[in-house]
Structure 1
């Protein structure tokens, strides 16, 4: 193609192009408005709304509703990242214990007391403590290392006693341990050392090892203690009626519950 032909084509192309497409010093009004609209939309998309006041002021606060768990009040406020944790020995229920719990909860108590049975029986080996989520793996590993040398043993149950929690918000009726006390003390000492590594509180001094079978709201120690002579008399009758297997257990494992997780530690 000759130079003249190329110039003619170029002149024809420029003559047929619209204002929007031609490279000119003049700006298209239509394009200007469209660009402004697009910029406004882009700004709206990237602009973040401010967080609501309740999130700014209370980012982790959860309101507890006692009606959801039989009126019980949390010992610790619920906070994200904090896991309620304790170690214990599980105790499987049996016919004799079921009969005892039925007798205890049907006993004539004052009208302001409502006794309720426990569904999952256990013997506590630690206080209920708060464990940070990022500590869990390390804490469980520490327990596993320290509990690995313990051997299985037997605990036997004896008579009923009355207990309260630290906050005096609940009162319990429990079966006290008769044999296996020394082995339990050694376990507690071991667990106390593990808790100490994480700056967590140790178990109670001179503990009274027991398995709680019934509870009620409030501090009703005196009222329930007045019933103990009658309840322990009924317990003696049950112990003679039901075989000895109903009143003792082999301790073969320790459990640790943290939040909704349960870890098992088998004894030798």
Structure 2
């Protein structure tokens, strides 16, 4: 809102004078207008914590009503006192990247029959057209009892901090379709190149260790049984202390599993298994359009834990000194 330009005492007697319309005054105003426009375009992006405040939509029902969610069914049934949770990396594509992804999805739909095209739903924008964040999952949909949830978040924060994993960058390798664990939805995804220093596998290993210590199932684990057979340890500080020690030496990574092929970023979804025509169109779209997006870089500086509607950001360490024994890369 502009400030009111009040007259000074020296100007009160000059109200009847002709306004100054000289070229100098006009060009000065134009210059100020250009400067204001340039400054507006140079504003920094909103911090990620701002988005966390408005990350959750209003709950329409505690029961499973697929008609309220485009036919989607709740994977984990709602249980009173159980807090649905998810660990993930969040990414807000830049304007150019968002445009390339939108073009890619539109190109795919254009290659499909009308009835088939309407079954694919974009994850790039909300129903009102607002850009949405994209995710790299680091856990399955999991849930914690009220007395567990705060201890879990604290334990995971400690484990991330002591793991020595530094910020890193990932790039995407192509398009594919993958199903959720229950085969109730299929997702159009961006496959991810294995990053330097194996950061994604290490983050997943830390997260899997955390959720398993609380009796929750791991993500992408190969032949690993859930520890504790679903019974979480309840003593405050027991798990936190264990995990702090667990990530304090290089020997910890000796049992690291490589599941690089499983990591992805979902950009669209459909309820049914993709038809052969959709798979063929996806392959040709990846060949024709993906090159516009292949150079996009996803900077990974933190992970997020969403427990209920509360989101906790856990930054990766940037000031680790290898001389102190924590394993930098």
2:177 corresponds in structure 1 to 162
- Give the 3 Å change call, closer, same or farther, for CA 187–129 of structure 1 in structure 2: same
CA distance in 2, matches of 1:100, 1:62: 33
1:250 and 2:250 are equivalent in the alignment: no
1:116, distance to aligned residue in structure 2 (A): 1.1
The aligned counterpart of 1:150 is 165
Alpha-carbon RMSD = 2.1
TM (normalized to structure 2)? 0.58
Whether the aligned pair in 1 keeps the contact of 2:165 and 2:316 (CA below 8 Å) is: yes
Q: Which residue of 2 aligns with 1:122?
A: 135
SS at match of 1:98: helix
What residue in structure 1 maps to residue 148 of structure 2? 135
Query: Is 2:111 aligned against 1:108?
Result: yes
Structure with higher Rg: it is 1
Measured at CA, do residues 68 and 236 of structure 1 come closer, stay the same or move farther in structure 2, by a change above 3 Å? closer
- State how many pairs are aligned: 203
Q: Are the aligned partners of 1:123 and 1:209 in contact in 2 as well (CA < 8 Å)?
A: yes
Secondary structure (helix, strand or coil) at the match of 2:64 reads coil
Structure 2: distance between partners of 1:189 and 1:237: 31
Normalised by the size of structure 1, how large is the TM-score? 0.70
Q: Does 1:190 align with 2:239?
A: no
Aligned to 1:89: 89
**Partner of 1:65 in structure 2?**
65
> Contact between 2:176 and 2:191, CA under 8 Å: does it hold in 1?
yes
Partner of 1:227: 281
Larger displacement relative to structure 2 (62-71 or 82-91): 62-71
Q: Runs (4+) of structure 1 moved beyond 4 Å? A: none
1:217 deviates by 1.2
- CA deviation after TM superposition for structure 1 residue 147, in Å: 0.2
Alignment of 1:16-27 (within 5 A): none
Gaps of 5+ in 1: 1-60
Task: Give the Å deviation of 1:219.
Answer: 2.2
1:193-243 residue CA offsets vs partner (Å, 9 max, x unmatched): 111110110111335111011111122264532222211123344248xxx
Q: Deviations over 1:56-78 (max 9, x none)?
A: xxxxx943211222211000111
